């Protein structure tokens, strides 16, 4: 259908039908959904009629080809104009083949693999009846207390934007209508949901517009530029106004400045939550603010359904404001090809073929390998072939390694670390004992200590439970649970080499582990193939190459601590014990592990940093290069990173900003050259009047293996 036909369809709809299009309910509300009991209870609670449910435009968290087909069929029988139901779900890091959590993917710095993970997630969920995913989540994060950092790709606006684009491409492909095994992508949570005060879930976000534009908006903008078809409003306030009623954000920036013409959806109940914010006195006012702001779909609350009709009758809004939202929803249905094929790709046979296929598992394995970050190693890793190994700790034998937001992922499809290691080691070389996450019984401790007795080297698999990160899981203490730290102490007392593997959803405060362990491998929640990937990494069958996309603090007291911070008038100089400088008297300023950091089993040596000129103009970019040699015994990947600092900004600029990176894959003894071109446009930023320009003057350029250990060169921008 073309736009005119869609407009004609809108004209045929009654106002009631139109308003119902703007409502989104969970699958539980629909007849044909597997859980029949849920049908009537929640409907009564929400106060919506059966007719409204039958006419509502979209459903969330409903999946499985058979269910989706059945729901759609029943729905269409009751829908007067034959407008199909749009089905959405949180497919965040895989559907049934679960990839590492997004923060881990962020650490891969591997955009093609990130894109492939989204493509696979799309294929599995599209054949299972889903049309739209509430992903990618591109909220920039600087505070590991916030549980949802696991859903983000990290603390850098440039890197996050690249991932945002990769995920959108992977989900949507080139043509949503022609390629039915893709999903429409809903980028979220617009805007700045990742900056809640104190890291506390759903808390206030308050920042300058300049900071918002500089650090927080680029990820969403990149997703929109890449063609994301939907945007989700966030729960939080931005400059005092809840996003769900924030006209400046939705109509001003998103639609006006960025030209976004897709669908905007609220977050779960976030329209009604404007009452709790103190920004609306009741549902009616909340509906008014949301529709005026430009929110098209209301998720899970009935403010629109109960009040839009009256608001039109009372002259508070124009009917065409409703029509506009309905048209966008119908356009999305058309874009997905639902009018012609309401079941789209839903197909139980295809489900059997593609879900957890060997190819999908292989991609999940690859990404789990690339996402793991070696944080410390004195040579304990990789494990030697002849060594006797004891594997102990809460993550030794569990298959609960999928992480929060693992959609339809089933732990039973994942292999735990112990069997994966056993399969790869000679018989009798591995002893295993495990324990709980927050408490360790005397018996468990005794078994673990016994397992260590005959071992030459100890591997302790530690971490947070999956539910300790994700939505609603902010923590003020981001250390490992006390019982695990006590376990580390006991293991250390054996005097045997100790390697730790971490399964967690946020950068942790590693006090009590980092110093004690001889090697630390950050595995995050690695997904379905995590066991195999981590076993291969431990045994050195593959070489770690992940790089942190979020800093690890020394302690929670430093938080937020991130690499692209500003300087002060009194910066702390290395080695200085001056009092009146910007510092803590009980902690270093620097994080424990900086952005971009990650080790390898091989070693890399950097040559001199070479720049084509010490002057850059608009016409003459700089060419920057550095040669890197693999000086170790194994093949490895080195991620060479390029940062800049503007030293005479009109407003102060971050001490370092990532501008480019490249991944060099080098055999032992091999050299490779990272070559970057740096243009004037890359030095532009938002000035005090929000204009986006560059400043002539002094700059510094840095290159190296992470944001800390860099070589530097000065240059001047001449404009």
Question: What residues are annotated to the active site?
Answer: 267
Tally of CB atoms within 10 A around 36: 10
| Residue number with CB closer to ligand BGC (108 or 234) | 234
Beta strand 615-617 with 711-718 is parallel
Site track 46-65 with ligand BGC (rule: CB under 6 A), x = hit: --------------x-----
Order across the sheet with 457-463: list the strands. 373-377, 519-522, 498-503, 457-463, 389-392, 430-433
Q: 604 near 638, Cβ under 8 Å?
A: yes
* Residue 427 neighbours by CB under 8 Å, 6+ apart: none
Closest to 189 (Cα-Cα) out of 145, 113, 242: 242
| Residue number with CB closer to ligand BGC (230 or 458) | 230
Rg (CA), the chain: 26
Report in angstroms how near the CB of residue 60 gets to ligand BGC at its nearest. Answer: 6
146/198 Cα distance (integer angstroms) = 8
Dmax over CA atoms of the chain, in Å, equals 81
Residue closest to ligand BGC, measured at CB: 134
| Residue number with CB closer to ligand BGC (187 or 460) | 187
User: Pick from 267, 413, 516, 646: which binds ligand BGC (CB under 6 A)?
Assistant: 267
User: Pick from 268, 503, 676, 715: which binds ligand BGC (CB under 6 A)?
Assistant: 268
138/116 Cα distance (integer angstroms) = 17
| Three-state DSSP state, 573 | coil
| Residue number with CB closer to ligand BGC (265 or 703) | 265
Report in angstroms how near the CB of residue 135 gets to ligand BGC at its nearest. Answer: 8
Report in angstroms how near the CB of residue 469 gets to ligand BGC at its nearest. Answer: 14
User: Pick from 17, 90, 351, 529: which binds ligand BGC (CB under 6 A)?
Assistant: 90
| Residue number with CB closer to ligand BGC (25 or 609) | 25
Report in angstroms how near the CB of residue 218 gets to ligand BGC at its nearest. Answer: 20
User: Pick from 188, 221, 307, 328: which binds ligand BGC (CB under 6 A)?
Assistant: 188
272-311 binders of ligand BGC (CB under 6 A): none
Report in angstroms how near the CB of residue 133 gets to ligand BGC at its nearest. Answer: 9
Cis status, amide bond into 573, omega within 30 of 0 = no
| Residue number with CB closer to ligand BGC (268 or 702) | 268
Report in angstroms how near the CB of residue 320 gets to ligand BGC at its nearest. Answer: 29
* Cross-strand partners of 58: 24, 86
Report in angstroms how near the CB of residue 694 gets to ligand BGC at its nearest. Answer: 36
Per the document, the length of the chain is 719
Report in angstroms how near the CB of residue 132 gets to ligand BGC at its nearest. Answer: 10
DSSP 68-86: HHHHHHHHHHH-TT-PPPE
The first and second tokens of residue 25, run together, are 């309910």
Q: Where are the alpha helices (DSSP H) in 173-242?
A: 209-211, 217-225
Does 471 engage in binding with ligand BGC (CB under 6 A)? Answer: yes
493-552 binders of ligand BGC (CB under 6 A): none
| Residue number with CB closer to ligand BGC (464 or 471) | 471
Q: For residue 625, count CB atoms less than 10 angstroms from its CB and return exposed for 0-12, middle for 13-18, buried for 19 or more.
A: middle
Site track 146-185 with ligand BGC (rule: CB under 6 A), x = hit: ----------------------------------------
Total of chain residues touching ligand BGC, rule CB under 6 A: 7
Q: 217 near 206, Cβ under 8 Å?
A: no
Torsion angle of the four alpha carbons 536, 540, 543, 549, in this order, in degrees rounded to the nearest 10: 70
Where are the strands (E) in 284-344, listed by range?
298-299
| Residue number with CB closer to ligand BGC (90 or 124) | 90
Q: Which residues bind ligand BGC (CB under 6 A)?
A: 60, 90, 134, 188, 267-268, 471
């Amino acid at each position: 259908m073309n736009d005119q036909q869609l407009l004609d369809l809108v004209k045929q709809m009654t106002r009631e039908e139109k308003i119902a299009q703007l409502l989104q309910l969970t699958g539980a509300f629909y007849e044909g959904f597997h859980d029949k009991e849920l049908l009537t209870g929640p409907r009564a609670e929400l106060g919506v009629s059966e007719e409204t449910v039958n006419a509502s435009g979209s459903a969330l968290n409903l999946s499985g080809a058979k269910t989706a087909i059945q729901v759609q069929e029943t729905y269409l029988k009751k829908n007067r104009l034959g407008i199909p139901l749009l089905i959405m779900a949180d497919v965040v890091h895989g559907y049934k083949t679960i990839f590492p959590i997004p923060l881990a993917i962020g650490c891969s710095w591997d955009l093609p693999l990130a894109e492939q993970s989204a493509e696979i997630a799309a294929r599995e969920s599209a054949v299972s009846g889903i049309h739209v995913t509430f992903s990618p989540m591109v909220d920039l994060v600087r505070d590991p207390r916030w549980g949802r950092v696991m859903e983000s790709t990290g603390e850098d606006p440039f890197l996050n934007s690249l991932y945002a684009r990769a995920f959108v491409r992977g989900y949507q492909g080139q043509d949503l209508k022609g390629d039915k095994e893709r999903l429409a992508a809903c980028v979220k949570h617009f805007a700045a949901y990742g900056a809640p005060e104190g890291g506390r879930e759903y808390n206030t976000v308050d920042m300058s517009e300049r900071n918002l534009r500089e650090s927080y908006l680029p990820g969403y903008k990149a997703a929109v530029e890449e063609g994301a078809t939907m945007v989700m409003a966030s729960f939080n306030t931005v400059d005092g106004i809840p996003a769900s009623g924030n006209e400046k954000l939705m109509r001003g920036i998103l639609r006006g400045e960025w030209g976004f013409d897709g669908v905007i959806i609220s977050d779960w109940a976030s329209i009604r939550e404007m009452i709790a914010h103190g920004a609306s006195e009741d549902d009616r006012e909340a509906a008014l603010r949301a529709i005026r702001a430009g929110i098209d779909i209301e998720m899970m609350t009935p403010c629109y359904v109960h009040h839009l009709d009256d608001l039109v009758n009372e002259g508070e809004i124009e009917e065409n404001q409703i029509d506009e939202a309905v048209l966008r929803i119908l356009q999305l249905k058309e874009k997905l090809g639902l009018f012609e094929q309401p079941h789209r790709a839903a197909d139980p046979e295809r489900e059997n073929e593609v879900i957890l296929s060997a190819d999908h598992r292989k991609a999940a394995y690859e990404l789990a390998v690339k996402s793991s970050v070696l944080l410390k190693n004195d040579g304990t890793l990789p494990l030697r072939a002849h060594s006797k190994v004891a594997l102990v700790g809460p993550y030794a034998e569990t298959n609960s390694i999928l992480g929060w937001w693992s959609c339809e992922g089933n732990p039973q499809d994942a292999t735990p670390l112990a069997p994966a290691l056993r399969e790869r080691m000679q018989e009798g070389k591995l002893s295993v004992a495990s324990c709980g996450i927050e408490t360790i019984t005397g018996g468990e401790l005794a078994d673990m200590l016994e397992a260590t007795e005959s071992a030459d080297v100890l591997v302790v698999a530690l971490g947070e439970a999956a539910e300790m990160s994700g939505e609603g899981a902010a923590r003020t203490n981001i250390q490992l649970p006390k019982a695990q730290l006590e376990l580390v102490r006991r293991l250390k007392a054996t005097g045997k080499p100790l390697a730790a593997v971490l399964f967690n959803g946020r950068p942790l405060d590693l006090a009590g582990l980092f110093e004690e362990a001889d090697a630390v491998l950050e595995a995050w929640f690695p997904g379905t193939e995590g066991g195999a990937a981590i076993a291969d990494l431990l045994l050195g069958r593959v070489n770690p190459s992940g790089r942190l996309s979020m800093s690890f603090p020394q302690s929670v007291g430093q938080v937020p601590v991130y690499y692209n911070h500003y300087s002060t008038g009194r910066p702390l100089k290395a080695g200085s014990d001056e009092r009146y400088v910007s510092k803590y008297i009980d902690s270093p300023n620097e994080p424990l592990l900086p952005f971009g950091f990650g080790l390898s089993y091989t070693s890399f040596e950097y040559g001199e940093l070479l720049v084509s000129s010490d002057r850059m103009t608009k016409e003459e970019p700089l060419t920057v290069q550095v040669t890197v040699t693999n000086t170790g015994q194994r093949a490895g990947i080195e991620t060479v990173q390029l940062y800049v600092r503007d030293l005479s900004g009109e407003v102060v600029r971050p001490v370092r900003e990532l501008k480019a990176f490249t991944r060099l894959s080098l055999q032992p003894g091999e050299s490779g050259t990272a070559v970057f071109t740096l243009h004037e446009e890359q030095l532009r930023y938002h000035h005090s009047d929000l204009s986006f320009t560059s400043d002539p003057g002094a700059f510094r350029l840095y290159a190296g293996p992470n944001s800390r250990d860099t070589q530097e060169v000065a240059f001047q921008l001449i404009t």
